[in-house]
Amino acid sequence: MELSREVGTGIARALTVTASYTPLQVAGAYHFPTSYSGAGYSLGIVELGGAVNDADLEQYFGRLGLPVPVVEAISVNGAPIESTGPGGADTEVMIDIEISATLAPEAKVNVYFGENSEDGFYRAIAAAGGVNPETFEDEGHRNTVVSISWGQPENLWNPDTMDQFNTLLHVLRAKGVTVFTSSGDRGAQDNGGDGLLHTDFPSSSPHVISCGGTELLLDAYGDRASEVAWDIDDTKSASGGGISAHFSGRQVPDISGNASSATGYQILTGGEDHVLGGTSAVAPLMAGLALELSEALGRPLGQVTDLSNFFLTNLGVLYDVTSGDNGGFRAGPGRDNVTGLGVPDGARMLEVLLSGRQLPAPIPLPAVGAAGAGGGIPLPVRGGMNQHS
């Protein structure tokens, strides 16, 4: 099975661009605490293709007047790190780095390149989380935050394989690693190939923060003028989301942020300027926020609180998005399967986190012997993942 990320199957490009923003403009509209830069913390980005373009980074961050982030490209289990050019997976790599590091330019960025297969994907996630992929014992560097923008519709996965990935993600969550994933760019069908509704995995794991998409317009002052669910085309350019067929009761996404290609991000890749969107822009955006909050708190965010439960018990830190659909579900008041609980307000989050009030504690580690733990199910080496954008 070849995993993908829909940014890589055509990166959500708009026929007409209504507006375009730097990541800092979007962060400003969402009141992210951009006076913090992620100093002292690190981000792990999982990639299954492409390479880092240092020249792009120097030019992009130079334009923004920001320090060029320290980025390390890491091959996992001998996976190749090969440039595919601006039309290929390089673009996905640069979106992840440029968006996250614009918010947290002083955080260390570790990019883990795995083989594009289930086994390669699994090992890359484990490496980013700093654990042994078989035993889950601590191994290597543990990043504060992990951003993942690759996956496949649940119907294309083996159920046992999803369980093994889910146990790994459970372990990382319990160790205080906050994992953000993109919910997909093909609406409620998620490109499942059968015309039915599907959620995307690993975004449907209950142990990640699944990130859906909106279309954001700013006013002349840089504030939110309007925000609706992202849906340019129900099956080609819309926020992924729905109800998991595998994990009982799991609904995605959890949160959302600007993803529409009509109001996309200004990105530099291969020396060329582009306006790009997709939910794989939202996962690194939220990863940047988590790094900012970690610096403000003086501890990794995932060691201070369990973010999944934090959002559920502090709905006042989110903007509710109540308009639009994704071809299967409609946005409305409260939680929905298009934009989740809403868009985080970074300032409100920090206020609550610093308030001293009771916060949801990190969850316990899974029992040894659970699927994937301590000699669990061996992963097949099959095709690869899709890129979401």
- Can you tell me the distance from the alpha carbon of 254 to that of 179, in angstroms, rounded to the nearest whole number? 12
- Candidate list 280, 294, 308, 389, residue with the active-site label: 280
- Tokens 């319990």 sit at which residue? 174
CA atoms within 13 A on the CB side of 42: 16
Token pair for 13: 């490009």
**Quick check: is 138 catalytic?**
no
β partners of residue 44: 110, 146
Q: What is the three-class DSSP state of 269?
A: strand
- Candidate list 90, 96, 118, 154, residue with the active-site label: 96
- Can you tell me the distance from the alpha carbon of 161 to that of 139, in angstroms, rounded to the nearest whole number? 22
149 closest CA partner among 272, 47, 43? 47
Angle among Cα 292, 69, 31 to the nearest 5 degrees reads: 30
- Can you tell me the distance from the alpha carbon of 247 to that of 253, in angstroms, rounded to the nearest whole number? 14
φ, ψ (nearest 5 deg) of residue 90: -55, -40
224 closest CA partner among 343, 325, 389, 341? 343
**Quick check: is 205 catalytic?**
no
- Can you tell me the distance from the alpha carbon of 35 to that of 33, in angstroms, rounded to the nearest whole number? 6
- Candidate list 92, 154, 227, 345, residue with the active-site label: 92
- Can you tell me the distance from the alpha carbon of 314 to that of 102, in angstroms, rounded to the nearest whole number? 27
Torsion sign over Cα 209, 183, 275, 216: negative
- Tokens 């008041």 sit at which residue? 333
- Can you tell me the distance from the alpha carbon of 140 to that of 133, in angstroms, rounded to the nearest whole number? 11
**Quick check: is 200 catalytic?**
no
Query: Which residue numbers are catalytic?
Result: 92, 96, 280
